[in-house]
A and B are shown apart, each in its own frame.
Chain A
């Protein structure tokens, strides 16, 4: 049966070629959208590693170059003034804010491996306030001051990517040479800190210690506040006044983590939504096109179908034949698309597209295309069964 249908499809290869092309392109579209949606769903399911409730960010916008002698004092004063407010329960320092596309990526070579990671700095008590989970070792503490090493905290992905299976606590992860005399010692491993939010890439992450008393010339960029619950947004105005009084040469931008998170999700999903709408419209169009073509073909093949009926094919067999024919044509289309698509993970075009994602997206897209083919072929197949043999053979 299947071989027979293959033969028939092959015999009509010229008129089927365009349908194959259409299905191949349609499959590329469905696959891309599925992969995109799946990827974002996976990312959304991966834990953030911190809490964003009741957290506020104050970004310092200096209108002048950073002068440590003057500016560190100002930051310290701001921190202590803010902590005196009843609305503020904790105040911390964090360089790169959460939920904004504002990141610091860095890379260096170690034992022939390229270590690439996203970095950040915070103070000793910050991880507890942020609700981060420690897996091994300890957070930063006063014992790290004045040491001959740079203490760092890394996330689990950092360990799994660069030092799988190793016990990294106390390990030096920097190439020590004349230019870079200090070792970088891992003091703890934390679950995760997905700084740029739920829909952002999963990266190895590293924290350096930010000690305001021994801070270098690097400017401090932001203050994170844990607020007591139900603090009104208008408290911002009071905060602005306090901070402006201490540092009139700076401007401050205050945002809640929650609002930054909403914006981040909205901005990430908007282009995907637009793509999905356009993709759906393309699919509806393809479906209607296939439906039309098949209907037309069935009408043109009245004689053939009449002959088959006269020779004893049942209605069911005719129906199945029409549907199987389109499925076989779809199979060719999907195969061509698959040959193109498989290049993506093979060549590693998108680092995000690994084999498991490729597999699941391919499977879902395949199911969708098969369903689409069956739906498109169902009604034309039904029409074909309505031809009575005598009528069909009289067609001319």
Chain B
């Protein structure tokens, strides 16, 4: 039966090549746009680089400090003192790591300025994030404790500075400090916001120690547990601590703190929709907004396809008349037309996937997002497939219903 439907559909597509082309054009480009968006979101949510352990950790990188009446508010990143006095008391995480966030720094070589990003971290950072070292190693607890001037750099910087020769043991000068390079890692995509940098050094090499007195600063914290289901416990413990057991001897009358340990999806939601006096991330709102956006974007191509298909009913009225006269039920006809519609969407979808692979390659090479790699993987393909089915069903259902309702007598006569 299905075989017959497919065969009929094929003949119909070939009969009017121009209409098939219009349909394919709309479907493939719509799906290409959606696939590109999906694979970018996917690349953010499921990183392939050092952050591939992201299912096991949450990030605390936002803090709102305020007073009882919210008349004076600081919103931003965390200060070292806040981390030391509060977050380090958390008992549920297995590993707690802090780093300074990525900031820009200029290196000068051969009369050229090289803008680079660098990050000060502790030793735990290297345990939580899965960096691939090309040579050398990360710095350990001892080196951090002693404030040794050692640095890890990425492959691109190593090649820029030393060409093909090994970078290990060489020195690196920036910010008037001299570091010894002890490790070279693979380049990290800019989309991995907690891992990306060109240079990593121990946080204890900060030129002054007065950062230890600040509740507000530029720090971010990663809390890790080997069992992903424990991450919610960490969030609960943290919020509980902020509500009931907060240490904050601040001079400006700040006595209330809002913050949260978030995974990647929660983090976007928090940035986009959460108000600053909240512990919640607003993931439901984000999910709703995303779904509405996708539906609205698919609406125009769908209506377009419905229009085309409806106007082609007449073309097939004699076929429908014959099928009805020989006893085909309305539901059988509906099924047939939906199969047809899904079939053409599938073909369009495949073309769309090819287009999106091509465009994603272009985006990667353009260097718009440094070291980004957006691959097609099974998850993205699966989402694409679901989109194709939804799209095919939406645009096939209404014309199919309309066709199945044709009166067989008038259909055979060729009129409505």
A residues sitting closer than 8 Å to B (CB atoms) are 15, 18-19, 21-22, 25-26, 29, 61, 63-65, 232-234, 236-237, 240-241, 244, 248-249, 251, 253-254, 270, 278, 281-282, 284-286, 288-293, 296-297, 300, 396
**What 4 A-B pairs have minimum CB-CB distances, sorted nearest first?**
A64-B210, A289-B304, A296-B311, A244-B176
Max chain B Cβ within 10 angstroms of own Cβ: one of A240, A270, A290, A296: A296
Q: Does B75 contact A (CB under 8 A)?
A: no
Which residue of A234, A284, A300 is within 8 Å of B314 (Cβ)?
Answer: A300
Contacts of A290 in B (CB 8 A): 307
Q: Which of A15, A29, A65, A296 is in CB contact (< 8 Å) with B300?
A: A29
For B315, the chain A residues whose CB sits under 8 A away are: 296
A61/B310 contact (C-beta < 8 A), A22-B304, A285-B300, A292-B18 known = no
> Is B414's CB under 8 angstroms from A285's CB?
no
Instruction: Using C-beta atoms within 8 Å of the partner chain, give the interface range for chain B.
Output: 35 or more
B75 to chain A, nearest CB (A): 14
**Shortest Cβ gap from A26 to chain B (Å):** 7
CB-defined interface of B130-171 with A at 8 Å, one 1/0 digit per residue? Answer: 000000000000000000000000000000000000000000
In the complex, the answer to whether B311 meets A292 with C-beta atoms within 8 Å is yes
Q: How far is the CA of A291 from the CA of B304 in the complex (A)?
A: 11
User: Chain A contacts of B104 at CB under 8 A?
Assistant: 253
Pair A63/B299 contact, Cβ less than 8 Å: no
Q: Point out which of A248, A288, A297 has the most chain B C-beta atoms below 10 A from its C-beta.
A: A288
Write out the residue numbers on chain A whose beta carbons fall within 8 Å of the beta carbon of B10.
none
Query: Is B22 part of the contact surface with A, judged by Cβ < 8 Å?
Result: yes
Complex contacts, B176 vs chain A, CB 8 Å: 240-241, 244, 248
B210 touches A234 (CB 8 A): no
Task: Evaluate contact between B108 and A289: CB separation under 8 angstroms.
Answer: no
Question: Which residue of chain B is the closest to A18 with respect to CB atoms?
Answer: B307
With A65-B214, A251-B175 known to touch, is A26 a contact of B25 (CB < 8 Å)?
A: no
Assuming A15-B310, A240-B106, is B414 touching A25 (CB within 8 A)? no
Bound-state CA distance A120–B111 (Å) is: 34
In the complex, whether B213 has a CB less than 8 A from a CB of chain A is yes
Interface presence of B15 (CB below 8 A): no
Q: Quote the shortest CB–CB distance from B405 to chain A (angstroms).
A: 12
Tell me if A25 and B211 are in contact (CB < 8 A): no
- A270 proximity list for chain B (CB < 8 A): 368
Contact B113 A285 (CB under 8 A): no
Contact partner of A15 (CB less than 8 A), chosen from B29, B214, B311, is B311
B33 proximity list for chain A (CB < 8 A): 278, 281
How far is B312's CA from A300's CA once the two chains are assembled, in angstroms? 9
A134 to B44 CA separation, bound complex (whole angstroms): 49
Give bound CA distance, A296 to B213, whole Å: 75
Specify the chain A residue showing the minimal Cβ separation from B211: A63
9 new A-B contacts at CB < 8 Å, known A15-B311, A285-B25, A300-B314: A18-B306, A26-B300, A61-B103, A234-B112, A240-B106, A241-B176, A244-B176, A286-B300, A296-B311
Known: A61-B103, A232-B111, A251-B175. A289 touches B210 (CB 8 A): no
Whole-angstrom CA separation of A15 from B305 in the bound complex: 13
Known pairs A249-B207, A289-B308, A296-B312; A25 contacts B303 (CB<8 A): yes
Given A65-B214, A240-B176, A292-B311, does the pair A18, B303 have CB atoms closer than 8 Å? yes
- Cβ contacts under 8 Å, A234 to chain B: 108, 111-113
Q: Chain A: which residue is nearest B399 at the CB level?
A: A18
- Report chain B residues within 8 Å CB of A232: 111
**Which residues of A are found within 8 Å of B375, using beta-carbon distances?**
none
Q: Roughly how many angstroms separate A234 CA and B110 CA in the complex, as a whole number?
A: 9
Q: Is B206 an interface residue (CB 8 A)?
A: yes
B207–A248 touching, CB < 8 Å: yes
Query: Across the two chains, which residue of chain B brings its CB closest to A286?
Result: B304
B contacts, CB < 8 Å to A: 18-19, 22, 25-26, 29-30, 33, 103-106, 108, 111-113, 175-176, 206-208, 210-211, 213-214, 299-301, 303-308, 310-312, 314-315, 368, 413-414
The distance in angstroms between the C-alpha atoms of A61 and B304, with both chains bound, is: 55
User: Is the pair A254, B106 in contact by a Cβ cutoff of 8 Å?
Assistant: yes
Q: A65-B213, A236-B106, A236-B113 are in contact. Are A288 and B303 (CB under 8 A)?
A: no
Query: In the complex, what distance in Å separates the CA atom of A244 from the CA atom of B108?
Result: 15
Contact in complex: A249, B208 (CB < 8 Å): yes
B-side contacts of A240, CB under 8 Å: 106, 175-176
Interface contact A22-B300, CB-CB below 8 Å: yes
Name the one of A18, A233, A251 contacting B310, with C-beta atoms under 8 angstroms: A18
Min CB gap B372→A, angstroms: 15
Contact B112 A22 (CB under 8 A): no
B413 / chain A contacts, CB cutoff of 8 Å: 396
Evaluate contact between B211 and A285: CB separation under 8 angstroms.
no
Contact assessment for A396 and B111 in the assembled complex, using a CB-CB cutoff below 8 Å: no
Residue numbers in B under 8 Å from A249 (CB-CB) = 207-208, 210
- Assembly CA distance A292 to B23 (angstroms): 10
Q: Which of B29, B108, B299, B310 contacts A237 (CB 8 A)?
A: B108
Q: In the bound complex, what is the Cα–Cα distance between A89 and B388 (angstroms)?
A: 63
Q: With A232-B111, A241-B176, A292-B19 known to touch, is A21 a contact of B210 (CB < 8 Å)?
A: no
On whether the beta carbons of B311 and A65 are closer than 8 Å, the reply is no
Complex: how many Å from CA A22 to CA B309?
14
Q: Are A19 and B108 in contact (CB under 8 A)?
A: no
B-side contacts of A237, CB under 8 Å: 106, 108, 113
* Assembly CA distance A244 to B111 (angstroms): 19
Known: A64-B210, A292-B311, A300-B314. A285 touches B303 (CB 8 A): no
Residue pairs across A and B with Cβ atoms less than 8 A apart, 15 shown, are A15-B311, A19-B307, A25-B300, A63-B206, A63-B208, A236-B106, A237-B108, A237-B113, A249-B207, A249-B208, A289-B26, A289-B304, A289-B305, A289-B307, A292-B19
Distance, CA A282 to CA B214, complexed state (A): 52
Whether the pair B311, A293 counts as a contact (CB closer than 8 A) is yes
- Cβ-defined contact, A396 with B414, below 8 A: yes
* A228–B300 alpha-carbon span in the complex (Å): 56
CA distance A307 to B176 in the complex (A): 90
Most B CB contacts (10 A, CB to CB) among A237, A285, A289, A290 go to A289
- Once bound together, how far apart are the Cα atoms of A292 and B299, in whole Å? 18
Q: Which A residues are CB-close (under 8 A) to B306?
A: 18
Residue among A21, A29, A300 with most chain B CB within 10 A: A300
Report the separation of the CA atoms of residues A295 and B230 in the bound assembly, to the nearest whole angstrom.
62
CA–CA, A244 and B174, complex, Å = 11
B101 CB to closest chain A CB, in angstroms?
12
Docked complex Cα distance between A168 and B29 (Å): 57
Q: Which residue of B lies closest to A284 (CB)?
A: B25
Chain A CB within 10 Å — which of B22, B207, B300 has the most?
B300
Please, how many angstroms separate the alpha-carbon atoms of A300 and B301 in the complex? 24
Cα A394 to Cα B207 in complex, Å, equals: 94
A288 to B305, CA, bound (A): 10
B341 vs chain A, min Cβ distance (A): 15
Known contacts A244-B176, A286-B300, A281 near B29 by CB under 8 Å:
yes
CB distance from B166 to the nearest CB of A (A): 26
Bound CA span A18–B309, Å: 11
Q: How far is it, in angstroms, between the C-alpha of A248 and the C-alpha of B307 when the chains are bound?
A: 70
Instruction: Give the residue of A253, A281, A289, A396 whose beta carbon is less than 8 angstroms from that of B22.
Output: A289
Closest to B416 in A: A300
Which residues of A are found within 8 Å of B299, using beta-carbon distances? 25
| Cross-chain contact A285 with B304 (CB below 8 angstroms) | yes
Name which residue of chain B comes closest to A244, CB basis.
B176
**In the complex, what distance in Å separates the CA atom of A281 from the CA atom of B25?**
10
